[in-house]
Structure 1
Amino acid sequence: MGIQTSLDAVHQATGLVESMRLADDLAFEAARTGGTRTIRLLTGALGSSDQLVAIAATHALAQVHDEQADLALSAVLSSERAFLREHAAWALSSRLPRPETVGRLLALVVEGGFVGMLAQRTLEQWSDAAPDLVAVSVEGSLIGVRDAEARYRLVETLGLVRDRIATRPLLTVAGDEGECEHVRVAAVSALGQRRGAPGVAVALERWADGEGYLADVARLALVDLAAGPGSAAGADDAAERGLTVAQLFLHADIDADLTAAGSGDNGGIATLLVRLGDALVADTAEHPVDVRPEAVSTRDSSTASRLPTSAGGAVHDGPPLTVSRVVTLSRGSSAGALESVSDLAGYDRGHVYGRVPLLSGPVPSAAAWPLRVAARRGIRRVLRASGGVDVLHLRMADVGSLAAADVARELDVPVVFTVAPDPHAVIQSMDLAGGLTRENFGDVDVKEHFWFRARLVQQLASNASHTVLFPRPELAADLRDLVGIDITSHPERHTIVPEGIDLAVVDRAVAEAAAHAAGQPATPPLAELRELLETLPAERRDLPLVVSVGRFHRVKGMATIVDAWARGPLRDRANLLLVGGDLTNPSPDEREQLELIHATLPRETHRASGLLLPGHHPNDTVARWVAAARFGVPGLAAPRGVYVCGSLKEEFGIALLEAMGSGLFVVAPDGGGPSTYVERDVTGVLTSTWDVDALSAAMARAVGLAAGEPDDQRAARSRATVEHSFTIQAMASALASVYGGVHLDEVAALDTAWLR
């Protein structure tokens, strides 16, 4: 295929996801053909109105081994099109350093944001081959930059130059009391990576012998300085001590009580990690998982393919392995990180938490990419402090996984990665809905980083020791067509593991809600719900509740649910309760959803219309409210409410499972994980959630079907579905088998290498 034919294929593909996949063929063709004509065609495509083609051409140029391609890419760093600047900064990482390009990359570092992270990442890679060029250029840039945030980014970039040439200027900045503290923090944090460098330990000890933020960071840097070179656990005593598994989600302060669930990015994943970590150390201690090959079996999922439920592979003659310790990493303060480092050293069993200071205030996940360096250092610190990690489980294509994958490679810790078509499914949904087109793809990508995240999914999956998959109706086809992964070629490397919930929490909530509906006094969570419902007009207090729980983010569709409810007769038949979001101090994503909601229904009309927005609440409280939607609240809400998930995409759906476990009839996306466990028009209604009219009709149908139920048989069926296949204990057991298999494969690989 010629270069022009490849360009045409990207432009003419029927869907955006297919065009992104064909961009790989274009890059391959550019590397194969090269030459002046290829460069001319690709350079011409940079100005195309088809923004997706322009992005594909940028990455293809990076595969042409020619000085003219270098010059063309360098020029793109100054393009008026912001999305092209980003992709050029990323693509240049595969090229050799050029002095004139270093200056342009540093200008993007000063600019900050996602493009600054990409430029910094390229400069870090270049610093291995040309440390003097990068270090001297950064020092020169610092002379003319006064903004504290920009100086922080430049100093952080200087700290990524591993050569000793960067040590002296780092010490100078760190010790300059006239410098902004935030900038000094960047230098102090970087000095913690310079073991053996003259004067570093003494300087850090001096700054650590004080109070405040800088002193906390200096103490963390001393921890880094004293840490050993690795963190992988010993391979020969796992049967005796049990496995240590690390998992992370950096966009929330995860606490064992889940007090902030639903706020910011602290959604279902935070709930899952807490429950799963507890279940792993509790369940496998009582029921060790046998991962010997003869104990490994295959099972049918609801997909078209058959995959093993365990990694298996290695011979293991000893006792079954257990997961004795789970380390859950989330963000935290520098002081909290110091405390967690101390705590981790004292626990060799149980579910423990490690804090990763991002040296920044909380930011939405889409804006967190510039925190890559701080995240990487914090993750490395926790894994080392854990004294040995057997497996690191990554789940998302975000800055945490990007940073953690680097650390795992450095410390030789095997990675398990949960693969899902994200952002691919979102791109497809937006493409179908008309909100994402070839003409605006790049402009949207500047905010959503679709291209980078899609490539990160592929990279994490290809480098993982094992991948975990969610059930989907057409799993093999979806992963092939959306993500570009053929899971049938090496089925032993993939395991289908449904997510699960803690039914004990749900059952307690159901018992309390049923008791209150039968006349018992309200428990504190239900009393709080009563106070909320009492704000409704008297004429609306005999209506059922339509409930949705989750983050206030565009992907979760909270504003779409309000629109769908408000535009039809359903508003007169049911009240709408949306639980989630920080309403006092909303993030940009939350603010966007709230503004859309207020555009549909002005704030002052919410109560009169039947809309309730109480913000986020602790997970246990929310469980009681969801259960109350089924049984009703005496005098304030009728029974037989429904639960609605309006997500553009939902890989599995923890909140949906909790609603079904409570016995609620549900509305769910007609695709992804929910369509494998929601029985159409039996336990729920499946619909195209990206289509407001379709969602509105589905919600109205669900309310009608729920109201017409003569007894609790359907509710019992919903709960039985969860109990049979989707408990947190079942998930923990399946994952423990995966982790044990990965560990045994690592042991076998080490033994083979030793024999050689």
Structure 2
Amino acid sequence: MIPGGQSRLLGTATARDGYEQLLLNPPVDLAGVSTRPGGLLIAQSMLLGGLDRPGHGQSGGLSVLLTGLGDSLASMSAAAGVVTIVTASHRDLAEDPKLVQERKPGHWVVRLPLDAPTGPQQQYMASHRAGLTWWAVRLLGLLPRPVDVMHVRYADDASLALAEAARILGCRLVFTATPDPHRHLSRRHARTDYGNRRSAENLRHDLHRVFVADRLVHRAHAVVGLPGPGGTAELVSFFPELIRRNDGRGPAAPPEGVPAYVAAPDEGERRRSLLDALFSGGDDTRTLAPADRDVALLLCVGRLHPVKQQHLLVDAWLNSGLWRTTTLVLVGGSTEHPTEDERTMRRRLHDSVRARPHAARRLALLPALPNDDVRRLEHALAESEGLSSWYVCPSLKEEFGLAVLEAMEAGLPVAATRRGGIPHYLRDGVNGVLIDTSTRLTLAQGLRRMTALAGPERRRMAQAGRRTVLERFSVGEMADMLAKEYAAVRLRPL
């Protein structure tokens, strides 16, 4: 950040890590990036977790969303190209030092170096804000043409860093606003013990996120929202500044969507291999017994994190006695480089079944799988004759629930949390089941209601859920609507 600072650094032989190597030998151009004439150059960001590793660490549905959305936007004539901005820690740079990679024609991934051993948790991003801004300005400034629109998601310091980069680069800023953290602040901290250091720190973090969200709304040239049960009008109550936009109706809400699932040429063989591997044992934590192949199965996919509440799902499954009539498969988490949250969650899951060996044989804990394999497994479960399967989302809340949409698209009946944005598209008893996930008891009640449904009713809900996704939530439709938003915001003054 210091003018002429490079001269103060030591030689390359003394560089301790990939970050210092890049400071000493910065990239001089992005010659491999070529944009189409006309159209907008669009930048979108995912600064927590890895883009190609959904379910690992902090990577979740957003990585899947931005991959498909970027590819779809890049194929449109309205876009000169798409840049997806991610971060790269010391470990990431040691594994791959390249800062720019082409995903698909017209869609590039630009990695902003982070001076940290591994990707920091969201609450620690403040110390990296200046560095992220500097790298974003430097790397995006080397593109063959200026970025027209920068779209950031998440109310955190990493997004604020890119907002500052957008100001310096002279491009328009679009921010996706959500009711969280405003919506949950009073409930989450109503009984906070301010003498408890952790409770006080959690409150400080949530208040800071409220502050950051307010700043991003203020600085954005356009705000889009994730719809909840009441649409986006709820956002206006949390962000009074939005009253002056769109005549107080709330921001536009392009529907998030999932790419159409494309079967592989050897799809049948791959599906059989997945199911055979899943039901290949039962004596270890990653498999189920072959004899349980005709037992009803509950599937849950997501990163291992307290807000996803996999531990509460296992406890409810055990204490309700559902382990006697169903199997439970959890997919998510890294086993190579687990985060503290992942290690804690795995320990809690293993502790829950340690004293119940018969139940443990009906629980499979799979590490995060590539998205293609997750969707292939869901299609295999949904279309297997004689196998009754459900997809369960036990999260405390979901702002949208992309994994839920993927399960619905596959034809699995879905039971999901009623907190957050899922009730916007999932209607209880119509195209799925909404459950109260606030406690182990209420979650168990929801699971029992779900599994008690007769086969015809379960299949009817699954078919209705699949129609919901195919008719309303395609990534192509999302790209079309966002392209119009980007074109409109490009005309607004800086």
So what's the TM-score if we normalise by structure 2? Answer: 0.86
Q: 2:57 aligns to what SS in structure 1?
A: coil
Residue 391 of structure 1: aligned partner: 149
Separation in 1, partners of 2:200, 2:105: 43
Cα deviation for residue 740 of structure 1 reads: 0.5
* 1:689-725 CA distance string (max 9 Å, x none): 22221111112211222x4326844332211111111
Q: How does 1:174-189 map onto structure 2 within 5 Å? A: 174-175=9-10, 181-182=15-16
Separation in 2, partners of 1:732, 1:438: 45
Q: 2:108 aligns to what SS in structure 1?
A: strand
Query: 486, 489, 496: which one pairs with 2:253?
Result: 496
Q: 1:631 to 1:330 in 2, by over 3 A?
A: same
Residue 40 of structure 2: aligned partner: 243
- Any conservation in 2 of the 1:329–1:354 contact (CA below 8 Å)? yes
Query: 46, 67, 80: which one pairs with 1:274?
Result: 67
Structure 2 residue identity aligned to 1:263: H
Q: 1:250 aligns to what SS in structure 2?
A: coil
- Any conservation in 2 of the 1:262–1:550 contact (CA below 8 Å)? yes
Q: 1:711 to 1:598 in 2, by over 3 A?
A: closer
Q: 2:344 aligns to what SS in structure 1?
A: helix
- Any conservation in 2 of the 1:364–1:589 contact (CA below 8 Å)? no
Structure 1 residue identity aligned to 2:74: V
Residue 177 of structure 2: aligned partner: 419
Cα deviation for residue 652 of structure 1 reads: 0.7
Separation in 2, partners of 1:564, 1:452: 34
Query: 640, 648, 655: which one pairs with 2:388?
Result: 640
Residue 472 of structure 1: aligned partner: 228
Q: How does 1:431-580 map onto structure 2 within 5 Å? A: 431=189, 437=192, 439=194, 443-446=198-201, 449-476=205-232, 478-481=234-237, 483-485=238-240, 487-491=242-246, 494-505=251-262, 508=263, 512=267, 522-535=268-281, 536-537=288-289, 539-580=291-332
Q: 1:425 to 1:711 in 2, by over 3 A?
A: closer
- Any conservation in 2 of the 1:473–1:671 contact (CA below 8 Å)? no
- Any conservation in 1 of the 2:179–2:235 contact (CA below 8 Å)? yes
Question: Whose radius of gyration is greater, 1 or 2?
Answer: 1
Cα deviation for residue 422 of structure 1 reads: 2.2
Residue 57 of structure 2: aligned partner: 264
Kindly tell me the number of residue pairs found equivalent between the two proteins.
Answer: 475
Which structure is higher in RCO with an 8 Å CA cutoff and minimum separation 6? 2
- Any conservation in 1 of the 2:435–2:446 contact (CA below 8 Å)? yes
Structure 2 residue identity aligned to 1:397: A
* 1:335-364 CA distance string (max 9 Å, x none): 8887445x68xx996111111111322234
Q: How does 1:287-298 map onto structure 2 within 5 Å? A: none
Q: 1:219 to 1:727 in 2, by over 3 A?
A: same
User: 5+ residue gaps in structure 1?
Assistant: 1-158, 186-211, 228-237, 286-321, 513-521, 750-756
Query: 682, 694, 709: which one pairs with 2:430?
Result: 682
Residue 670 of structure 1: aligned partner: 418
Residue 284 of structure 2: aligned partner: none
Cα deviation for residue 534 of structure 1 reads: 2.1
Cα deviation for residue 668 of structure 1 reads: 1.4
Q: 1:426 to 1:362 in 2, by over 3 A?
A: farther
Structure 2 residue identity aligned to 1:699: L
- Any conservation in 2 of the 1:537–1:608 contact (CA below 8 Å)? no
**Which structure has the highest strand share of the two?**
2
Separation in 2, partners of 1:495, 1:593: 37
Residue 408 of structure 2: aligned partner: 660
- Any conservation in 1 of the 2:193–2:200 contact (CA below 8 Å)? no
- Any conservation in 2 of the 1:355–1:378 contact (CA below 8 Å)? no
Residue 452 of structure 2: aligned partner: 704
Separation in 2, partners of 1:606, 1:241: 63
Q: 2:463 aligns to what SS in structure 1?
A: helix
Q: 1:384 to 1:640 in 2, by over 3 A?
A: same
Residue 32 of structure 1: aligned partner: none
Cα deviation for residue 557 of structure 1 reads: 1.5
Q: 1:377 aligns to what SS in structure 2?
A: helix
- Any conservation in 2 of the 1:216–1:334 contact (CA below 8 Å)? no
Q: How does 1:27-426 map onto structure 2 within 5 Å? A: 159=1, 171-172=7-8, 174-175=9-10, 181-182=15-16, 214-220=20-26, 223=28, 241-254=38-51, 258=52, 260-282=53-75, 284-285=76-77, 322-332=78-88, 333-334=92-93, 339-341=98-100, 350-366=106-122, 368-369=124-125, 370-386=127-143, 387-426=145-184
- Any conservation in 2 of the 1:559–1:593 contact (CA below 8 Å)? yes
Residue 736 of structure 1: aligned partner: 483
Q: 1:709 aligns to what SS in structure 2?
A: helix
Cα deviation for residue 570 of structure 1 reads: 1.6
Matched residues, percent identical?
A: 32
Cα deviation for residue 439 of structure 1 reads: 3.7
- Any conservation in 1 of the 2:48–2:58 contact (CA below 8 Å)? yes
- Worse overlay, 444-453 or 726-735: 444-453
- Any conservation in 2 of the 1:480–1:486 contact (CA below 8 Å)? yes
- Any conservation in 1 of the 2:156–2:209 contact (CA below 8 Å)? yes
- Any conservation in 2 of the 1:264–1:364 contact (CA below 8 Å)? no
- Any conservation in 1 of the 2:69–2:479 contact (CA below 8 Å)? yes
* 1:556-609 CA distance string (max 9 Å, x none): 222121122121022212111111101343101111212222232229848744
Separation in 1, partners of 2:231, 2:104: 38
Structure 2 residue identity aligned to 1:621: D
Cα deviation for residue 263 of structure 1 reads: 0.7
- Any conservation in 1 of the 2:19–2:113 contact (CA below 8 Å)? no
Separation in 2, partners of 1:530, 1:181: 48
Separation in 1, partners of 2:15, 2:156: 28
Separation in 2, partners of 1:539, 1:239: 56
Structure 2 residue identity aligned to 1:628: A
Residue 468 of structure 2: aligned partner: 721
Q: 1:177 to 1:745 in 2, by over 3 A?
A: closer
Q: 2:84 aligns to what SS in structure 1?
A: strand
RMSD: 3.2
* 1:241-277 CA distance string (max 9 Å, x none): 11111011122332xxx4x221111110000000000
Residue 285 of structure 2: aligned partner: none
Structure 1 residue identity aligned to 2:276: R
Q: 2:229 aligns to what SS in structure 1?
A: coil
Q: 1:405 aligns to what SS in structure 2?
A: helix
**Which structure has the highest helix share of the two?**
1
Q: 1:715 to 1:376 in 2, by over 3 A?
A: same
Separation in 2, partners of 1:534, 1:459: 52
Structure 2 residue identity aligned to 1:665: P
- Any conservation in 1 of the 2:193–2:199 contact (CA below 8 Å)? no
Residue 370 of structure 2: aligned partner: 618
Structure 1 residue identity aligned to 2:298: V
So what's the TM-score if we normalise by structure 1? Answer: 0.58
Cα deviation for residue 540 of structure 1 reads: 3.1
- Any conservation in 2 of the 1:425–1:649 contact (CA below 8 Å)? no
Q: 1:653 to 1:454 in 2, by over 3 A?
A: same
User: 5+ residue gaps in structure 2?
Assistant: 282-287
- Any conservation in 2 of the 1:249–1:400 contact (CA below 8 Å)? no
> Does 1:587 pair with 2:339?
yes
* 1:733-756 CA distance string (max 9 Å, x none): 11001000001224xx7xxxxxxx
